[in-house]
Amino acid sequence: MASAPVLVTRRLPEEAIARLTASCEVTLWQEERPMPRARLLADSAGKAAIITLLSDRVDDELLEAAGAGLRIVANYAVGVDNVDLAACSRRAVMVANTPDVLTEATADMAWALVMAAARRVAEGDRVLRAGSAWVWGPEMMLGREVYGKTLGIVGFGRIGRAVARRAGGFGMRVLAAERSGGAAGAGGAAGTGGAAGTGGAGGEVEWLPLDDLLAASDFVSLHVNLSDETRHLLDRERLARMRPTAVLVNTSRGPVVDEAALAEALSAGRLFAAGLDVFEAEPHVHPDLLSHPRVVLTPHLGSATVDTRRAMGILAVDNVLEALAGRRPPALVNEDAFRRPKA
**Which residue numbers are catalytic?**
253, 282, 300
Least separation in angstroms between CB 103 and ligand GLV: 10
Q: Which residue in the set 89, 150, 303, 319 belongs to the binding site for ligand GLV (CB under 6 A)?
A: 303
Report the residue number, 9 or 303, with the smaller CB distance to ligand GLV. 303
Q: What is the C-alpha to C-alpha distance for residues 247 and 151, in angstroms, rounded to an integer?
A: 10
Q: Which residue in the set 79, 157, 191, 313 belongs to the binding site for ligand GLV (CB under 6 A)?
A: 79
Backbone phi, psi, residue 286, to 5°:
-55, 130
Q: What is the DSSP string of 30-79?
A: -SSSPPPHHHHHHHHTT-SEEEE-TTS-BSHHHHHHH-TT--EEEESSS-
Report the residue number, 242 or 316, with the smaller CB distance to ligand GLV. 316
Report the residue number, 265 or 317, with the smaller CB distance to ligand GLV. 317
Least separation in angstroms between CB 97 and ligand GLV: 7
Contact between 186 and ligand GLV by CB under 6 A: the answer reads: no
- Cβ proximity of 51 and 317 under 8 Å: yes
Q: Which residue in the set 16, 50, 70, 77 belongs to the binding site for ligand GLV (CB under 6 A)?
A: 77
Contact between 113 and ligand GLV by CB under 6 A: the answer reads: no
Can you list the alpha helix ranges (DSSP code H) found in the chain?
Answer: 14-21, 37-44, 60-66, 85-90, 103-118, 121-129, 158-167, 210-216, 236-241, 259-267, 287-290, 306-324, 335-339
Least separation in angstroms between CB 341 and ligand GLV: 30
Q: Residue count at the site for ligand GLV (CB under 6 A)?
A: 7
Interaction with ligand GLV in 46-75: which residues (CB under 6 A)? 54
Q: Which helix (H) or strand (E) holds 150?
A: strand 150-154
Report the residue number, 54 or 332, with the smaller CB distance to ligand GLV. 54
Q: What is the C-alpha to C-alpha distance for residues 71 and 47, in angstroms, rounded to an integer?
A: 8
Q: What is the layout of strands, in order, in the sheet containing 273-276? A: 205-208, 173-177, 150-154, 219-222, 247-250, 273-276, 295-297
Task: Give, in order, the Cα–Cα distances in Å from 60 to each of 67, 72, 82.
Answer: 11, 14, 12
Report the residue number, 188 or 203, with the smaller CB distance to ligand GLV. 188
Minimal CA–CA distance to 62: which of 30, 52, 29, 78? 52
Q: Which residue in the set 50, 63, 70, 78 belongs to the binding site for ligand GLV (CB under 6 A)?
A: 78
Least separation in angstroms between CB 208 and ligand GLV: 26
Q: What residues contact 152, with CB distance under 8 A and at least 6 apart?
A: 175, 176, 177, 208, 213, 214, 216, 217, 219, 220, 221
Contact between 102 and ligand GLV by CB under 6 A: the answer reads: yes
Report the residue number, 29 or 76, with the smaller CB distance to ligand GLV. 76
Least separation in angstroms between CB 56 and ligand GLV: 13
Least separation in angstroms between CB 25 and ligand GLV: 27
List contacts with ligand GLV (CB under 6 A).
54, 77-79, 102, 302-303
